Amino acid sequence: MSIQRDNLARPLHKPQEQKQTQYAPQKQPAKRSEQSKAVAREKLRWLGTVVVCVVLALCVAGRYAGMISLNYEIEAKKGTLQKLQDEQLSLEKQVLELESPERIKGFATNKLGMKQVDDGQLIVVPGQ
């Protein structure tokens, strides 16, 4: 018995020359059914693998997008922090200028009309 091969490289048997009776058991369809089930299972396994890989890829992409979003927020917060630190330095400088004794003395003499008193002098201000 010779074997012929088709384009799928499966062995094909030549049809038997004897006539089969109608009641003869046919085992080939059962084998084909088992083979088709095996092929279907293999396809389902591949499909499941692809679906799992796609889900994992989407999860990784989502995490990466979240990290990028957080990075933008961090950079914005750093910019705000730098502005606030600059403002704080400016305000501290202004406080030091306003608290300086020379400025207070100048303000008292020029704006309020106060005079410098020597250590030995005592000035009594009459009350009302």
φ, ψ for residue 23, nearest 5 deg: -100, 10
* Cβ partners under 8 Å of residue 105, min gap 6: none
pLDDT number for residue 119:
74
In the structure, what pLDDT confidence band is assigned to residue 23 with cuts at 50, 70 and 90? low
For 6-118, where are the alpha helices, taking DSSP H only? 28-99, 101-110
* Cβ-proximal residues to 2 (8 Å cutoff; 6+ apart), any chain: 14
Enter the tokens of residue 36: 């088709």
Task: Kindly tell me if the per-residue pLDDT of 96 is higher than 70.
Answer: yes
Structure tokens given for 118: 């020597």
What was the pLDDT predicted at 122? 76
Handedness of CA 41, 46, 50, 56 (dihedral sign): positive
CA angle 58, 64, 65 (to 5 degrees): 90
DSSP-based three-state secondary structure for 57: helix
